[in-house]
Amino acid sequence: ELSNEQDEAVVVSQDRLAEVFDVGPTYALPPVTQLFEQVATLYIGKVEG
Amino acid sequence: TNPLDLKAQKRAHSRSLLFEPAVAATQDFDSLYHICYEGFQELCRLDSKFAGFADNVFSEQSKHEDRTQMTAAQNERLDEVLEEFLLLVGGKLLLKPALKAVEWLVRRFRVHQSNTSCLLFAFLPFHTTPIFPTMLSLIPGNISPTLRFLHPYVQSLANPPRHAIVHAASINRPFFTAMSVYVLKSCRLGLQHPTLVSFWASIATEAVAAMLDQSRSARLEAQKQNQEDIVRFLLPILNDGLSVDNVPDLRAGCYMILTILATKASLDDGVLSVMMEAITSQWSQSSHAGLICLGVLAERKRAAGLPRKAFKAVIALERLDDDLITLGKRYKIDRLALGVALGIVSGLGKARDVSGLRLLRTLMEADIMSGASKSVVVTSVVSQAQTTAPTLNPRFDVAGSLADLLLCLGDSTSVGPIIPSTLEESNPDSGPLKSRLQRLIRSKES
């Protein structure tokens, strides 16, 4: 079973999510696979260092 | 347009993507065709898929085709062809030849009146460009409720900002659905372009995040209901998306939405399992994106372990060990690795399949799982070793293989320290296992 600590939803603000997509005009967005990896990093990424 | 109302006819004929109304009003279909066909030929040189439209909407005969003179069935067939053309041309709408070709669809076949949604969805990824308000200037005033959010921009001929589209997708479900259906259709027909899929995936992801944020403003009970409602709304769309072959970007878009759903909503294990099975049921090739998404879902599951079908799909991946180690450096995939490890141990008892033991050892020794998860695996290994009936055939000697594994792990620097204490807790009571593991048990006692 998950501990209580793990059960907490990871809080990522709408702004941080929007930052991933706010990279110039919509028609110049990077490939989705790349966007997905950035989104996944927000939620389950390991802190570097 | 009433065929007897000549003024209205002239007005309708002057609606153009390329020309001022006064100029457009004077153009006949012969001269227009000449201009538009040039654009079409250029498109054919860029992409051979366009050639298929040379015999229908861009044929010589098309100059004389008038929708008002066609039967309902003919109009329906024409709509299909026009919509396929719009799907295909969507990726090239920033190029002049594409606009010349679309001009033919506007002037000759009135796509802005008869195929409004399709035309809008084709242009929507380019909502910040100057051509977008020009396209809006063609749209009839009675815009459908699905696209109602564009009404103010149609009136002012302005560019809708990105956040307006995200907001509309978060509160207007028919719009979210219609946009998704348009994108899925393009992918299913193999007519998709990267801009469209990126646009959809990014808007849909942000919109789902906003939907879930809005659901939190309610009381706890209502919150749960709202979240269930959102999941029920999205799952069919995601299932459809995941069932499309050979469009990795579309899959990644579905993974992005699933990530938001799983992390922002409180989903029960049953729903998470359904999602895991949906991800793995039709993945045709190993992809890091699929494993990352499974990792996200596994982190949210309360009970350890992967659903059986998902486990079978994961374990069948050719380079699973390398993939998990690579991903483990960047992402927290502790629970995914634990699920794989427990699946291997469980398979030992049922199928006496010892082929996964090498992977199990790799997973245990790599820096992917937490100490707590490694302990769970060791406990499970001991329990499996004690409950699997002995056999004389050394190839299927599960207990012996597991004891060997524990001995190896006992010597490893990353797992070794946790083995004695875990062994003590799981208490291998008697028999051959205890005697084979004496060395490890003694090391705890000494």
Inform me whether the C-beta atom of residue B260 falls under 8 Å from chain A C-beta atoms: yes
Task: Give A39's contacts in chain B (Cβ within 8 Å).
Answer: 205, 256, 259-260
**Domain tally, chain A:** 1
- Which of the pair, B74 or A11, is modelled with greater confidence? B74
Q: Is residue A49 part of a domain?
A: no
Inform me whether the C-beta atom of residue B329 falls under 8 Å from chain A C-beta atoms: yes
> Per-residue confidence at A5, pLDDT binned at 50, 70, 90?
very low
Task: Give B288's contacts in chain A (Cβ within 8 Å).
Answer: 37
Q: How far apart are CA B254 and CA B123, in angstroms?
A: 22
Per-residue pLDDT at A43 exceeds 50: yes
Task: Give B126's contacts in chain A (Cβ within 8 Å).
Answer: 26-27
Inter-residue contact B136 to B126 (CB < 8 Å): no
CA angle (B362 as vertex; B357, B364 as ends), nearest 5: 95
**Rounded average pLDDT over A25-45:** 92
Task: Give A40's contacts in chain B (Cβ within 8 Å).
Answer: 255, 259, 292-293, 295-296, 331
Residues in CB range of B293: below 8 A, 6 or more apart? A36, A40, B255, B258, B259, B279
Residue A39 to residue B162, Cβ atoms within 8 A: no
Per-residue pLDDT at A49 exceeds 60: no
Output the pLDDT for position A48: 63
Inform me whether the C-beta atom of residue A5 falls under 8 Å from chain B C-beta atoms: no
Facing A26 at nearest CB: one of B125, B288, B303 = B125
In this prediction, the residues of chain B whose per-residue pLDDT falls under 50 are 446
Interface pTM, i.e. ipTM: 0.87
Output the pLDDT for position A1: 47
> Per-residue confidence at A6, pLDDT binned at 50, 70, 90?
very low
Computed from CA positions of residues B414, B417, B420, B426, in that sequence, does the dihedral angle turn out positive or negative? negative
Percentage of chain B exceeding pLDDT 70: 92
The residue with tokens 């199928």 is B351
Inform me whether the C-beta atom of residue A2 falls under 8 Å from chain B C-beta atoms: yes
Inform me whether the C-beta atom of residue B202 falls under 8 Å from chain A C-beta atoms: yes
Full domain range(s) for residue A38: 4-44
Give the residue among B161, B307, B183, B281 at the shortest CA–CA distance from B237: B183
The residue with tokens 């290994």 is B381
Inform me whether the C-beta atom of residue A43 falls under 8 Å from chain B C-beta atoms: yes
- Enumerate the H helices of B265-333 as residue ranges: 269-281, 288-300, 308-315, 320-330
Task: Name the residue ranges covered by the structural domains of chain B.
Answer: 6-160
Output the pLDDT for position B159: 97
Residue A33 to residue B289, Cβ atoms within 8 A: yes
Residue A14 to residue B194, Cβ atoms within 8 A: no
Q: How far apart are CA B322 and CA B390, in angstroms?
A: 33
Q: Is residue A14 part of a domain?
A: yes
Minimal CA separation from A19 to chain B, in Å: 11
Which two three-digit tokens encode residue B320? 């699973």
Q: Residue B372, class by beta-carbon neighbours within 10 Å (0-12 exposed, 13-18 middle, 19+ buried)?
A: exposed
Residue A5 CB: number of other CB atoms within 10 A?
Answer: 6
- The whole-chain average pLDDT of chain A stands at 79
